[in-house]
């Protein structure tokens, strides 16, 4: 009988360990994600004003206290929080406040000014006025490091107004009577059911005068402005505001952003 020679079993060539292949693909995926994220970040930095060194904070609409924003009004807390976030953001070198507001309450302006002054301790704050920056909106704007306005921006209107309505005559014509029980002589001051009494008129005027003095003293302290140029409360066109030193330069939002960058560079 012919003997069949014994042969050694043939084993397949060793391949990479399963865990090594998994690690390789994991690293490839991670590197790919990093590249994609890097591209998005680079694009964001190139196209977003916030990340080019200037943060634009919008103060648009009537000003009142509170943390809100709507189509025609904005709250002091909302604007203030935006200013503080920009001030504390290390990627932001300067802040531009884009103002388009007819004003609002003195208290709202004072709250925003407090946060604006905080921001100024960290970086330049520049004002860019749009259609309008009057009354309380100018109160805030006067605290900026530099103010830009368009030639036909409405600004100024430095003053305080308190409006009271009296529909008592109409009520009488309609046979509608109002009875008021009150604890003090002025507790119903401002009620539409009667005209202001002489005492109420005097008291309302006192409040308006005190608020106005605080307002105009602050504005003329922040900027070299002749009180007589603004104390009649009139609206002032941007080109005229430049002559009166209510604003520093004529220009749009892009001009204000460029100016903010200049101020930031000068601080370095």
pLDDT at 236: 98
pLDDT at 49: 43
Question: Does 32 fall in a domain?
Answer: no
**Alpha-carbon distances of 258 from 84, 120, 128, 168, 207, rounded to whole Å:** 21, 17, 11, 56, 41
Report helix, strand or coil for 22: helix
73 belongs to the catalytic site: no
Asked if residue 197 and residue 102 are part of one domain, the reply reads no
What are the start-end ranges of the H helices in the chain?
Answer: 18-47, 76-88, 106-120, 136-141, 168-173, 198-222, 227-230, 238-243, 253-267
Rounded to the nearest integer, the mean pLDDT of the chain is: 90
Catalytic residue among 24, 70, 182, 187: 187
187 belongs to the catalytic site: yes
pLDDT band at residue 4 under the 50/70/90 scheme: very low
Asked if residue 165 and residue 153 are part of one domain, the reply reads no
Which tens digit of pLDDT belongs to each residue from 97-128? 999 999 999 999 999 999 999 999 999 999 99
Q: In degrees, to the nearest 5, what angle opens at C-alpha 229 toward C-alphas 223 and 233?
A: 100
Which tens digit of pLDDT belongs to each residue from 143-192? 999 999 999 999 999 999 999 999 999 999 999 999 999 999 999 999 99
pLDDT at 107: 98
Question: Does 268 fall in a domain?
Answer: yes
Catalytic residue among 76, 135, 141, 191: 135
Asked if residue 200 and residue 128 are part of one domain, the reply reads no
Report the domain count for the chain.
Answer: 2
pLDDT band at residue 30 under the 50/70/90 scheme: confident
Which tens digit of pLDDT belongs to each residue from 37-66? 766 555 555 445 444 799 999 999 999 999
Question: Does 130 fall in a domain?
Answer: yes
pLDDT at 51: 47
């Amino acid at each position: 009988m012919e003997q069949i020679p014994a042969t050694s079993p043939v084993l397949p060539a060793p391949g990479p360990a399963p865990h090594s292949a998994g690690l390789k693909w994991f690293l490839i995926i991670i590197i790919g994600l990093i590249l994609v994220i890097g591209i998005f970040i680079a694009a964001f930095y190139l196209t977003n004003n916030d990340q080019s060194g200037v943060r634009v904070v919008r103060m648009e609409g009537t000003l009142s206290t509170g943390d809100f924003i709507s189509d025609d009004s904005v709250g002091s807390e909302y604007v203030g929080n935006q200013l503080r976030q920009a001030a504390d953001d290390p990627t932001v070198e300067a802040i531009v406040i884009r103002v388009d507001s007819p004003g609002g309450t003195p208290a709202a302006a004072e709250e925003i000014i407090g946060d604006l002054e905080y921001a100024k301790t960290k970086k330049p704050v520049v004002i860019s006025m749009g259609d309008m920056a009057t009354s309380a909106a100018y109160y805030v704007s006067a605290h900026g490091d530099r103010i830009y306005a368009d030639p036909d921006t409405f600004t100024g209107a430095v003053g305080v107004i308190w409006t009271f309505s009296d529909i008592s005559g109409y009520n009488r014509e309609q046979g509608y009577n109002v009875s008021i029980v009150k604890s003090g002589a002025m507790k119903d001051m401002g009620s539409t059911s009667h005209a202001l009494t002489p005492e109420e008129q005097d008291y309302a005027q006192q409040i308006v005068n005190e608020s106005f003095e605080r307002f105009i003293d602050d504005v003329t302290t922040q900027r070299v402005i002749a009180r007589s140029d603004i104390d009649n409360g009139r609206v002032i066109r941007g080109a005229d505001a430049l002559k009166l030193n209510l604003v520093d330069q004529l220009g749009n939002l892009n001009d204000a952003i460029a100016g903010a960058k200049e101020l930031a560079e000068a601080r370095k």
